[in-house]
Amino acid sequence: MGDSKRPLRADAARNRARVLEVAYEALATEGTSVSIDEIARRAGVGAGTVWRHFPTKAALLSAVIVGRVHTLADTARELLTSGDPSEAVFEFLRVVIAEGALDRSLADAMAGSGIDLDVVAPGAEDEFRTALGELLVAAQRSGSVKATITAPDLKALIVGALAMQAYDAEVADRVTEMAILGLRP
Amino acid sequence: MGDSKRPLRADAARNRARVLEVAYEALATEGTSVSIDEIARRAGVGAGTVWRHFPTKAALLSAVIVGRVHTLADTARELLTSGDPSEAVFEFLRVVIAEGALDRSLADAMAGSGIDLDVVAPGAEDEFRTALGELLVAAQRSGSVKATITAPDLKALIVGALAMQAYDAEVADRVTEMAILGLRP
Amino acid sequence: MGDSKRPLRADAARNRARVLEVAYEALATEGTSVSIDEIARRAGVGAGTVWRHFPTKAALLSAVIVGRVHTLADTARELLTSGDPSEAVFEFLRVVIAEGALDRSLADAMAGSGIDLDVVAPGAEDEFRTALGELLVAAQRSGSVKATITAPDLKALIVGALAMQAYDAEVADRVTEMAILGLRP
Amino acid sequence: MGDSKRPLRADAARNRARVLEVAYEALATEGTSVSIDEIARRAGVGAGTVWRHFPTKAALLSAVIVGRVHTLADTARELLTSGDPSEAVFEFLRVVIAEGALDRSLADAMAGSGIDLDVVAPGAEDEFRTALGELLVAAQRSGSVKATITAPDLKALIVGALAMQAYDAEVADRVTEMAILGLRP
DNA sequence: AATGAATGAGTGTTCATTCAT
DNA sequence: GATGAATGAACACTCATTCAT
């Protein structure tokens, strides 16, 4: 099991990665209204090539989002092991905010009709939830976050930060700092 | 005051109001993807009539948003005079959340490229800021909100609540409650 | 009842008729593969205008077919009243064949997936069946068609003639003449 | 006889045959709208392999049709030698009808613009005509078909049966039976 | 002032054909 | 010889905007 897809040919893999990268930037900059043609143009490939790799626009959006979720989960793990575990959760929130300017696509796409992370990439969702859980446990163990705070609270805060970021960076910043005060004992 | 436009004829004013009302409902229900034709159809007028009053789709969105801001400012004033002033600000936040399910359009439209409330309706912005300022002063005077909280903090919280609402009701709920904890002394 | 649609504005009606006419010719000449854009171009209108009148390609095909069925029913009635009733049914078959060169669209469209005359225009279907029934009764009464022949036989012959016409005029001609021999006592 | 093409390598020949077989089934089932990619996928070969053997879609269609014509000619010969020669021609017609459900592709493809059997495979055409001629001669010799019927009449009936089959099985059935009555003395 | 028909560029998606591996 | 990725034009359909009535 797990070998249902042979590895892509080198050139195809290169194109796929290039499209994903360009799509991420384009979505972050322009929102979900960017056209597939525009993404293809920027990536220097034909529209059909985008279609080969991502047969619907939703599939492309999902792939971008899944990639972003992986990156965030990586970031969470790094913060936990490389710094002060009691502050890692707050650091993570700030990273989400700081990088969120590029993440208009996530909130847009997920708010937009019909993309459910649980459905398109259950693995990514689990990975993300696990990382968040570790951040939370570390913080509560060291007393920097109230014991009454739950993992869903934390996830809501992350998602909310992204949603606010999509609208306005300063708004996200201010509200998150207020909510962080509410997290502390 | 010295407006260059004469008052609208009665039937025109009625049409304008009807379009606005229908547009608000349609945008709240369907998001910004509703077509102008659909709004015209629901309002029982021709597409050209919508165009006469709102020459671009952005103009219609702006007008809807301005109307909504007026309503929110009214709500703020009512809460201040009819209930406990020390809790009015929290009540207001909860109203924003509760009604926000109808306000997907606001965040959508404002997050979408290029609508700036300060530009399209400086008066509405002022009115809203004033009402928020009064809520804040009342709360701080009675000690229910920390003295370090500023009007921009509060505005960010309102706007953030709307942005989160557009994505997910529960997220908005949880994050706002956390932030309210951060507001209290 | 029956006034659910107000009469079209004069210019709209003209456009609708022009599109239908052009569509009939184009479909007859090129088959169902003609694009809507091509039809719009030939009719001298925008693609959106075609769409306003016929929101899907199937709707346009249906309208063309219904129009054609009406014309055929008219022809049947004329043949019955203006000539020899005993030969009217054979004359009608020959007209179908002769004009069928323009009718590639009918067989194509009806063979193609999903257009059912009974569904798109039950009235037209009834009108057609009635006209065929009258042709058959008149012929059987005068003894020019066997009593064992039924209305469905006759309808099959018409439809088959169209289907063969779409492929080859001579084939339709020869087979129909053979079948006519089978019809006679 | 002196063909300019050397015989195909064994594996290439196997691929060619497999593609043809799959193409016949796919065309019969789905009509001419099946994509080359889909046929390649079902045959388990790459799209380029299909292209190597059949450089255009029309070439593939032609090859399928030619193959089908060969099969029909074989059937005709078998019926002539293994059964009652006087009824063989009627049996053959019924076989064409019965199997015609799989032959939507023939009528589709030949009705569609530009494939002419005489051009793409004069040999197959001759073989088919010869077999039909033999059926006809046998029937007329035994008195089961009128002497006035010609080979082109019979060919029209076969082709017409296929054309009608593509539209509706019952139509083909009824019309062919009527025409058979016209064939008998 | 109001209507609603017309426009035409734009969307996501599809696919026959070509070509680098 | 075989592969399957890439191409790019085409499709049906949509809609904000304009304009004749």
Chain B CA closest to residue A175: B157
Q: What is the DSSP letter of A24?
A: H
- Chains A and B are touching, with contact defined as 3 or more CB–CB pairs separated by less than 8 Å: yes
Of A21-35, A77-91, B38-52, C79-93, the range with the lowest mean pLDDT is A21-35
Which token pair is B111? 């997050």
Chain E positions with a protein C-beta closer than 7 Å? 1-21
In the predicted model, is pLDDT for residue C3 greater than 60? no
pLDDT of residue B109: 56
CA distance A128 to A134: 10
In the predicted model, is pLDDT for residue B103 greater than 70? no
Distance, in angstroms, between B43 CA and closest chain A CA?
25
Decide: CB of C41 under 7 A of nucleic strand F.
no
Find which of B117, B148, B167 to mutate to test the A interface (most A CBs within 10 Å of its CB): B167
Residues from chain B that touch A112, judged by Cβ atoms under 8 A, are 31
Chain A CA closest to residue B155: A171
Minimal Cβ distance to D160: which of C172, C180, C181: C172
In the predicted model, is pLDDT for residue B126 greater than 60? yes
* Cβ A93 vs Cβ A180: under 8 Å: yes
Residues from chain B that touch A110, judged by Cβ atoms under 8 A, are 167
pLDDT of residue B101: 61
Q: Provide the residue type at B61 as one letter.
A: L
pLDDT of residue D89: 94
Q: Provide the residue type at A89 as one letter.
A: V
User: Could you tell me which of B147, B145, B151 has the C-alpha nearest to residue B179?
Assistant: B145
Q: What is the DSSP letter of B116?
A: -
Domains of chain C, start order:
7-55 (1.10.10.60), 61-183 (1.10.357.10)
Chains in contact with D, counting 3 or more C-beta pairs less than 8 Å apart as contact: C
User: What are A's interface residues with B at a Cβ cutoff of 8 A?
Assistant: 30-31, 33, 104, 107-108, 110-113, 152-153, 156-157, 159-160, 163-164, 166-168, 170-175, 177-183
For chain C, give the percent of residues with pLDDT over 90: 48
Residues from chain D that touch C172, judged by Cβ atoms under 8 A, are 160
Handedness of CA C19, C25, C29, C31 (dihedral sign): positive
CA distance A60 to B117: 33
For the stretch D74-113, pLDDT in tens is 999 999 999 899 999 999 988 888 887 666 666 665 555 4
For the stretch B30-85, pLDDT in tens is 878 889 999 999 999 999 999 999 999 888 988 888 888 888 899 999 999 998 99
Minimal Cβ distance to A178: which of B113, B157, B159: B157
Minimal Cβ distance to C160: which of D112, D113, D172: D172
Residue D2 CA distance to nucleotide E21 C1' (Å): 35
Which token pair is D84? 């009652």
In the predicted model, is pLDDT for residue C167 greater than 80? no
How far separated are the first and last CA of chain A, in Å rounded? 47
List strand F contacts in B 124-143 (CB < 7 A). none
Nearest protein residue, CA measured to C1' of E14: A48
pLDDT of residue A4: 45
For the stretch C112-166, pLDDT in tens is 545 566 666 677 778 888 999 999 999 999 999 999 999 999 989 988 888 788 7
What's the rounded mean pLDDT across residues D168-172? 86
Which is higher by pLDDT, B114 or C107? Answer: C107
Minimal Cβ distance to B182: which of A168, A173, A182: A182
CA distance A146 to A153: 12
Which is higher by pLDDT, D56 or B4? Answer: D56
- Chains D and B are touching, with contact defined as 3 or more CB–CB pairs separated by less than 8 Å: no
Which is higher by pLDDT, C6 or D124? Answer: D124
Range B48-56 contact pairs with CB under 8 angstroms and sequence separation of 24 or more? B49/B15, B49/B19, B50/B19, B53/B12, B53/B15, B53/B16, B53/B19, B54/B19
For chain B, give the percent of residues with pLDDT over 90: 45
Q: What is the 3-state secondary structure (H, E, C) of chain D?
A: CCCCCCCCCHHHHHHHHHHHHHHHHHHHHHCCCCCHHHHHHHHCCCHHHHHHHCCCHHHHHHHHHHHHHHHHHHHHHHHHHHCCHHHHHHHHHHHHHHHHHHCHHHHHHHHCCCCCHHHHCHHHHHHHHHHHHHHHHHHHHCCCCCCCCCHHHHHHHHHHHHHHHHHCHHHHHHHHHHHHHHHCC
- Give the confidence band of A153 by pLDDT, cuts at 50, 70, 90: very high
In the predicted model, is pLDDT for residue B107 greater than 90? no
Q: Do D171 and C160 lie within an 8 Å CB cutoff?
A: yes
For the stretch C14-49, pLDDT in tens is 999 999 999 998 888 887 888 999 999 999 999 999
Minimal Cβ distance to C164: which of D164, D174, D182: D164
For the stretch A116-142, pLDDT in tens is 666 666 777 788 889 999 999 999 999
List strand F contacts in A 31-90 (CB < 7 A). 44-49, 51-53
Residue B119: exposure state from Cβ atoms within 10 A (0-12, 13-18, ≥19): exposed
Residue B169 CA distance to nucleotide E13 C1' (Å): 34
What's the rounded mean pLDDT across residues B94-122? 65
For chain A, give the percent of residues with pLDDT over 70: 84
pLDDT of residue A87: 92
pLDDT of residue C165: 80
Chain F positions with a protein C-beta closer than 7 Å? 1-21
Residue D6 burial (CB count, 10 A): 6
D74 Cβ contact partners less than 8 Å away, ≥ 6 residues apart = none
Find which of A90, A178, A180, A183 to mutate to test the B interface (most B CBs within 10 Å of its CB): A178
- Give the confidence band of C1 by pLDDT, cuts at 50, 70, 90: very low
Annotate chain C with DSSP letters as a single string: ---SSPPPPHHHHHHHHHHHHHHHHHHHHH-TT--HHHHHHHHTS-HHHHHHH-SSHHHHHHHHHHHHHHHHHHHHHHHHHHS-HHHHHHHHHHHHHHHGGG-HHHHHHHHSTT--HHHH-HHHHHHHHHHHHHHHHHHHHTTSS-TT--HHHHHHHHHHHHHHHHH-HHHHHHHHHHHHHHH--
pLDDT of residue D47: 93
Number of CB pairs, chain A paired with chain B, less than 8 A apart: 96
pLDDT of residue C117: 63
Which is higher by pLDDT, B125 or C107? Answer: B125
CA distance C172 to C98: 10
Helices (H) and strands (E) in chain A, counts: 10, 0
